[in-house]
Structure 1
Amino acid sequence: MKFSFGKNSGAYQDQDLTFVTHQGKPYRAMDMLNLINGDQLSHPLSNLDFLWPTIAVLGSFLDKHGCTFDYINQFHFEKEQLRQKLLKNEYLLVAITTTIYVTDFPIKDIVEFVRTYNKKVLIIAGGPYIKNRITDSSPPKLDLEFNGMGVDLVVNSSEGQMALVNVINALKRGQSLDGIDNIIYRKELRERWGQPAEGSEAGAPGGSSAERFFVFNGTKVEDNPLEENPVRFELFGPGAVGRFVSLTTAKSCPYACAFCSFPVRAGKYKYLEVGLVEHQLDRLKALGVDTVTFLDDTFNVPKPRFREMLRMMIRNQYNFKWNSFYRSDQGDRETIALMAESGCEGVFLGMESGSDTMLEKMNKTSRRRHYAEAIPLLREHGIYSHANMIIGFPGETPETVQETLDFLQTYQPDTYKAQLWYAETNTPVMQKKDELRLKGFGFNWSHHTMDSNQAAGWIDHIVREVHASAFLPQEGFGIWSIFYLQRLGMPRRQVLDFLLAFGAEVRRKRMVPEVQEISSGSLKTLFELGRIGKVLGQHASVATL
């Protein structure tokens, strides 16, 4: 869908950096691995080959509140299963989560599929994409947008689990939706309770407003404490949980980076005490999980809690590997040694820039020296490191980009990504919009020191110049895939060498755009590096997802 923005756009570049072309067809890194290993796979390799965290959280919450649920983990791979479920006509409501969506195209695809096989079931959408749209727009525009999506109800909350429960209970009891906070619903649904479908602002229920198609109910902060709502993985069984689990031990983020809206959406930073985390990890150990991804944006904050957690994991001798985000300004040699001893195999460094000038403008507390100290220590202890960079944030200049490039070439994290700054409306930097002469949004913008086309050009420059670190094409692959492939029998060094070869072909394609087709030599190299030796023996348990 990003290709619709045009070949000169940052959105196009972001997509173009993720694939190579073979026999006229685009292949992302995981697609290529499926092609290479197709003769020995019982189930396609996938960047989503695990129980989706949102499903685990929602399912546990619904069960706690007496609601039954069913789920589809990967829509594109499980359409037949969904079709069969819809034809049985046993469902009151279909919920669409939007955790990784950046457009409404996937929502429309799912709605169209559901309507094809079940025209009676109601469809509700919620999650980050929906909440961001509500924050960034107005009721009249949202009214048209949600109608275009084809959904019946929308959850208007950064959490929303309780709103979903309240909707389910009201529908089961034949009660009105008017009194339920944090939802938006079609006017036609009011006819169920003898209320007029048509109306005006004045005719809407108390605390609500009515537009052309939808009723916008009142809002109230929903807070579902982590300690009161643990994920109950046993509800899904070992076959569904598989070997890979994602776990959250904190809500929100204690920092206020100028480019990020997450703390604004998520509210006050809160985290679980170590004893409660230990209880969750004990249950995962009993289920036979061997890879845990901690989803917290700041897993090693606060530092004393993190060290206590590491010592707890060492004491319990858990038999799984784990990975997480890592803030380098909150770590040191002792902490990294404890991480390695406790089973840490990789970290995501949200570095954002190799320039202290830019880190200060971004309101980051970390500085270049923190990452310069951390990456060699991580390598010394056998911990994989990924450095993520943002190019083009207001204040960026050719000189600051060069500092980022110099950093990558000097300290050589295992993988990196240089991505175009995304101008998001609900972020702290937008408060200085006039001062920075900032215009546009998303991947199409300009400000007082750079525009998005110039920034895209600098990203191409970085990709051309960085050779020791592999470019990580996060769409269709991602950091989690590094660990996933290791569990399937592909050594880390082989994974990285494959990505280096894949990135070299992407780099060539960007430099010589008139020759898109991969050469026979490059294809041979990818086939040699991409063969997974143990996949037949290792993949059976994953295939049960």
Structure 2
Amino acid sequence: MKNLDCLLIGYTGNNLELEKSRILAVSQKPLNIENPFNLAIAYLGTLLDKLNISFQYIVSFEDDQKELIKKMQSHKFKAIAISTTFCINIDCVRNMVKIIRNIDSNVKIIIGGYFIAARIKQLDELERKILFKKIGADIYINSFYGESTLGEIILALKSGGDLNKIDNIYYKDKNKYHTKEAISDEYNIKNYNINWSLFEDKLGTYVPIRTSVSCPFSCNFCIYSQNTGKHRQLDILQVEDELKQLKRIGKTKIINFTDSTFNVPMNRYKELLRMLIRNKFEFKWHSFARCQYLDEEAVSLMKESGCQAVHLGFESGNQEMLNVMNKSAKIQDYIRGHSLLKKYNIMTTGLFFIGFPGETLSTVKDTVNFINNIRPDYYFIQPWIYDHSTSIANQAEKYELKGSMYNWSHKTMNSELAIKLAAQLPKIIKSSTMRNMDTTYFYQLLNAGFTANELKEIEEKLNEIKYKDIIVDEDILNYFK
């Protein structure tokens, strides 16, 4: 049995086999889809390699459990580090720990990533320790940027060093959890270029790339920028280097630029697009975008550089609601930017939610009219989720806001109505198609022989299945006519 320092485990949040079966139920064309490479694994592995820490990795815990068992039976690891970035609840973290413990009850298990860091931030000290005991891991990284902390932990475990000297962690010693006072993350993204050659054997056609961290905006419904600090960006040359690596390896066809706000500031965005064009990269790419900032020059460069699609966080089609959300956007700018994307045949998906404080049936109708007006290729609509960590919680008294998460009310709407509307609107809106398929698989199919029309037909059939038992309330139907 070979001794190694660390096994990295990624969690994708996807179920590849389930998605295949769903698509095959409505399409007879052969499928060639895969889970994307896990970006957290790429960053963590690159950092460990720089520190001369030996490691292996599992890209997807959900799909690679046989490989996990094989690696753990053939290697003795000092630690196993699990990234929780795409976890949505504690049970999925707990399940991973349980399975690992069944294979090796003594290995040190480290939990990190955005999900666990956000959960730690929400809890008091007693609640945290109850949570840690429930999950059953040995060390928890209390940081939204945990690469360097993981490196310190592994080096300490190798040398027998004192974990108490490492900032931003909780660790178990003699069945009790200990911690050092958390300090703010001093994260310099420019120190974290990925060495993609380390992962060449597992790279596929679809790869995520991050060119910035955090977000320059502070929307009242979002906690992301509060958690992740100042918006910071890679130099264009660093982005170019990563893309050149992927081109040299020769497997990647599709790039997902994962930045929450890829096209801000616009001068950097245009410079990046010109870099893509100058290198004659043949990648097709998609990203999030704030279309209110787009101009014709930018959209022309997007098309020339290989952009196939963008996801647009409109959130609402009512200006008053956008103001309450602190979206820093005007409806007329949404319309102008979206029209440019359609002019250059760039696929659009509009993202919306229902129920934010101030929402009424009238403002929801404005959102429906907005969708019918701009006619995005796809849209996605869901009920608002009330997270007490978001800025809107500071105005709870003003809006008579009560409850939390999926069960809430305020003086103009409650979660029951928002859930009802989100379920029924896809049967009312006919000008666009509700997005159903997982994004990563959608773009793989778009670049593997499926036409845009074929994918739209698949999406519509999936929606028929999903919403077949939804009966539209006559009053709602008449109101939105």
User: Fold match, TM over 0.5?
Assistant: yes
Q: Partner residue of 1:142?
A: 128
Per-residue CA deviations over 1:101-147 (Å, capped at 9, x if unaligned) read 22111111111110111111111111111111111110101101110
For the pair 1:297 / 2:283, whether they are aligned, the reply is no
Shift in Å, 1:29: 5.4
Residue of structure 2 aligned with 1:310, choices 258, 270, 273: 273
Shift in Å, 1:84: 1.3
Change (3 A) 1:37 1:504: closer
- Structure 1 window deviating more from structure 2 (333-342 vs 459-468): it is 459-468
Change (3 A) 1:28 1:401: farther
Shift in Å, 1:28: 6.3
Shift in Å, 1:34: 4.4
SS at match of 2:116: helix
Counterpart code for 1:31: S
SS at match of 1:390: strand
Q: Partner residue of 1:173?
A: 159
Tell me, yes or no, if the aligned pair for 2:26 and 2:462 is still in contact at 8 Å. no
> How many angstroms apart in 1 are the aligned matches of 2:27 and 2:429?
29
SS at match of 1:106: helix
Shift in Å, 1:441: 1.3
Per-residue CA deviations over 1:30-69 (Å, capped at 9, x if unaligned) read 432245679956x7x45xx121111111111111122121
Q: Partner residue of 1:102?
A: 88
Listed as ranges, the gaps of 5+ residues in structure 1 are 1-17, 20-26, 189-196, 198-212, 514-545
Residue of structure 2 aligned with 1:392, choices 313, 334, 355: 355
Q: Partner residue of 2:387?
A: 424
Q: Partner residue of 2:477?
A: none
Counterpart code for 1:367: K
> How many angstroms apart in 2 are the aligned matches of 1:185 and 1:286?
41
Counterpart code for 1:251: V
Residue of structure 1 aligned with 2:234, choices 269, 272, 276: 272
Q: Partner residue of 2:214?
A: 252
Tell me, yes or no, if the aligned pair for 1:486 and 1:492 is still in contact at 8 Å. yes
Tell me, yes or no, if the aligned pair for 1:93 and 1:123 is still in contact at 8 Å. yes
Q: Partner residue of 1:78?
A: 64
Q: Partner residue of 2:5?
A: none
Per-residue CA deviations over 1:316-372 (Å, capped at 9, x if unaligned) read 211111111110121122211111011100101011001111110000012222222
> How many angstroms apart in 1 are the aligned matches of 2:333 and 2:55?
46
Shift in Å, 1:227: 1.7
SS at match of 1:184: strand
SS at match of 1:154: strand
> How many angstroms apart in 2 are the aligned matches of 1:322 and 1:223?
30
> How many angstroms apart in 1 are the aligned matches of 2:37 and 2:290?
26
Shift in Å, 1:165: 0.9
Counterpart code for 2:416: N
Per-residue CA deviations over 1:295-324 (Å, capped at 9, x if unaligned) read 111111001111111122112211111111
Shift in Å, 1:505: 2.9
Q: Partner residue of 2:403?
A: 440
Q: Partner residue of 1:234?
A: 197
> How many angstroms apart in 2 are the aligned matches of 1:39 and 1:107?
35
> How many angstroms apart in 2 are the aligned matches of 1:423 and 1:336?
35
Counterpart code for 1:255: F
Per-residue CA deviations over 1:147-191 (Å, capped at 9, x if unaligned) read 001111100011111111111111111122111100001132xxx
Residue of structure 2 aligned with 1:457, choices 404, 414, 420: 420
Shift in Å, 1:218: 1.7
> How many angstroms apart in 1 are the aligned matches of 2:411 and 2:323?
17
> How many angstroms apart in 2 are the aligned matches of 1:390 and 1:371?
16
Q: CA RMSD in A?
A: 2.1
Q: Partner residue of 1:499?
A: 459
Residue of structure 1 aligned with 2:443, choices 483, 499, 523: 483
> How many angstroms apart in 2 are the aligned matches of 1:121 and 1:331?
51
> How many angstroms apart in 2 are the aligned matches of 1:297 and 1:222?
19
> How many angstroms apart in 2 are the aligned matches of 1:51 and 1:410?
37
Per-residue CA deviations over 1:353-412 (Å, capped at 9, x if unaligned) read 011111100000122222222233222212110100011111111110000011112221
> How many angstroms apart in 2 are the aligned matches of 1:171 and 1:402?
58
Q: Partner residue of 1:31?
A: 21
Shift in Å, 1:435: 2.2
Q: With structure 1 as the length reference, what TM-score do the two structures score?
A: 0.80
Q: Partner residue of 1:371?
A: 334
TM alignment of 1:347-362, pairs within 5 A: 347-362=310-325
Shift in Å, 1:222: 2.8
SS at match of 1:307: helix
> How many angstroms apart in 2 are the aligned matches of 1:151 and 1:429?
34
Tell me, yes or no, if the aligned pair for 1:482 and 1:492 is still in contact at 8 Å. no
SS at match of 2:111: strand
What is the aligned residue count?
458
> How many angstroms apart in 1 are the aligned matches of 2:247 and 2:156?
38
Counterpart code for 1:79: Q
Larger relative contact order (CA 8 Å, sep ≥ 6):
1
For the pair 1:62 / 2:48, whether they are aligned, the reply is yes
Q: Partner residue of 2:478?
A: none
Residue of structure 2 aligned with 1:287, choices 233, 249, 274: 249
Counterpart code for 1:178: N
Q: With structure 2 as the length reference, what TM-score do the two structures score?
A: 0.91
For the pair 1:91 / 2:53, whether they are aligned, the reply is no
Shift in Å, 1:447: 1.4
Per-residue CA deviations over 1:467-490 (Å, capped at 9, x if unaligned) read 2322113xxx33332211122221
> How many angstroms apart in 2 are the aligned matches of 1:507 and 1:39?
24
> How many angstroms apart in 1 are the aligned matches of 2:87 and 2:235?
31
Tell me, yes or no, if the aligned pair for 1:356 and 1:367 is still in contact at 8 Å. yes
Change (3 A) 1:225 1:323: same
> How many angstroms apart in 1 are the aligned matches of 2:21 and 2:330?
37
Tell me, yes or no, if the aligned pair for 2:310 and 2:346 is still in contact at 8 Å. yes
For the pair 1:221 / 2:184, whether they are aligned, the reply is yes
For the pair 1:116 / 2:79, whether they are aligned, the reply is no
For the pair 1:509 / 2:469, whether they are aligned, the reply is yes
Identity %, equivalent residues: 31
Change (3 A) 1:463 1:29: farther
Change (3 A) 1:36 1:69: farther
> How many angstroms apart in 2 are the aligned matches of 1:37 and 1:507?
18
Tell me, yes or no, if the aligned pair for 1:98 and 1:129 is still in contact at 8 Å. yes
Tell me, yes or no, if the aligned pair for 1:126 and 1:154 is still in contact at 8 Å. yes
Tell me, yes or no, if the aligned pair for 1:358 and 1:400 is still in contact at 8 Å. yes
Tell me, yes or no, if the aligned pair for 2:87 and 2:115 is still in contact at 8 Å. yes
Listed as ranges, the gaps of 5+ residues in structure 2 are 1-13, 474-481
Per-residue CA deviations over 1:250-291 (Å, capped at 9, x if unaligned) read 111110000000001110111122222222222222122211
Q: By percentage of residues, which structure has more strand?
A: 2
> How many angstroms apart in 2 are the aligned matches of 1:29 and 1:398?
34
> How many angstroms apart in 1 are the aligned matches of 2:42 and 2:141?
18
SS at match of 1:215: strand
